[in-house]
Chains A and B, each alone.
Chain A
């Protein structure tokens, strides 16, 4: 009788261990699968080295106000007085801030005096994202010089459509899928600059590199 009880207890423990093992393996497998699934979640983004600044981002987004906005890479900007991304060709000569002399149709570029040095005035150009419509006028103007202004899909606004309407309309295949945990991209030249800075223990550059998709 007691022998049968000992055998049953041993069997019970063995069965229990098997069940626990199977459940643990299942949980671990499910967890890993879930993690893998999360890592592969993608977002739409613009490869700034492929963008031609056609203006479709302003008109083809399914949102009333496009999720694509202009961004400024300050490490590429010359902080110029005569900014080709800020002024129209006429405005470059007059440097009048009347609306017709500004390139941006919504006056989304904010020009702020920074300093005067060596007889030159330097200005910082930032983007009012609420006003920006992603038309890329400034991107084309800036491309005449340093090219520090470029477009990015803003993921606090983008609804991440399965088929992005702008990507379909993009004439240069500039829309790419990137990982959801690093959904922004730098221009390749800016990536090089940031890597140089990060190599010299620049913490801001290191932090930025940790936030952007850096495949080349």
Chain B
């Protein structure tokens, strides 16, 4: 006891020294940021990567290679033949993937369309490259070549109706209308001509013909699809921006779309690649394929390298309602068929639109708003 009293000061110093040492060790060895380090500069895409399986109503049934280094566009022609443009060629394939022809082109195609049975020249192939349209007949012989009347055109899409050929020009943010011989009939969205300006932030600017003799135009910067008469009068518009599956993601989507036989619209988005089906009036129906089904790893989302970030899946639809997807990474065509038709399985399950926040856009109010802000609308006849 006397010893304790005698060495009390020394003992207290020793205890304090040990305590300080332990505390120092604890501070040095601990890493309060350890849990955050791996996540510091990462983005969590799981919310957009995973798609509710119940919404996926399509299944891939076939895939065939297109033997092109850079396939750019896909279209379906008479007898459901598949046409793919890329490199300096147009490949023609049977639905089973058998190659029928490889048609050389002068330019490097960026888009194409094929006249269907309603077109004055069924089977004629219209190929866009640079500021030029190359026309081939149904056996691949060159028929004509005509130029879009501007140098700074970026031809993004072609749609062929009965007696009209529409060409979407992302460079000038408008749609050209030609007759099948190449005579310019007019434009839609031409700001200089008093029309409305499409918001086209990138080079994707798709168009397609609806079954009711309408022209559907993607307005990608506005994240919606608009429907016009062939004369350029707006009939309808739909589409909501948002991350949720029923909306259009990012700042410029849908990047591609196609029209199914009954008028439903298949959309393809870039950034977070996902292919979906909407009614003609914009009601979300189902998912054809999400990023996972398209072969995109979650870690690839947001990868800035061009071969990852620049991926755009073009889509086309045939007379049987099959969805044809051009995969630029696998350089292949992938065929998606509705599950109920393919398997006789689960059938279409209507989505509870209210639960997703979806509300059809009333036409009257937005159009009136548009006409007030943009005088050009008032000059166009109401649909």
Contact = CB atoms under 8 A, between A and B. Distances in A.
B42 interface: yes
Interface in B301-327: 301-306, 308-310
B159 interface: no
Nearest to A172: B305
Contacts of A89: 43-45, 47-48, 243
A145 B201 contact: yes
A188 B306 contact: yes
Interface string A52-88: 1111001100000000000000000111111110000
Interface string B79-99: 000000000000000000000
Contacts of B301: 144
A120 interface: yes
Contact of B40 (A55, A79, A82, A118): A55
B250 interface: yes
Nearest to B370: A119
Interface in B26-58: 40-45, 47-48
Identify whether the interface residues of B are mostly helix, strand, loop, or mixed: loop
Interface string A104-144: 01000000000001111000000000000001110111111
B251 A143 contact: no
Which of A52, A135, A144, A187: most chain B Cβ within 10 A?
A: A144
Interface string B349-383: 00000000000000000000110011000000000
Interface in B212-251: 221-223, 241-244, 249-251
Nearest to A95: B241
Contact of A144 (B199, B244, B302, B305): B302
A78 B223 CA distance: 13
Identify whether the interface residues of A are mostly helix, strand, loop, or mixed: loop
A140 B197 contact: no
Interface stretch (A13-21, A24-32, A43-51, A153-161): A43-51
Given A84-B251, A147-B304, A150-B304, 7 more contacts: A79-B201, A89-B243, A92-B250, A117-B197, A143-B308, A144-B272, A147-B309
Please give me the 10 A-B residue pairs with the lowest Cβ-Cβ distance, nearest first. A78-B201, A55-B41, A80-B251, A144-B271, A140-B302, A143-B304, A143-B309, A118-B197, A135-B41, A82-B251
20 contacts: A52-B303, A55-B41, A79-B201, A80-B201, A82-B241, A82-B250, A89-B243, A90-B243, A93-B243, A118-B197, A118-B222, A137-B41, A140-B303, A141-B43, A143-B302, A143-B309, A144-B249, A144-B301, A145-B271, A147-B309
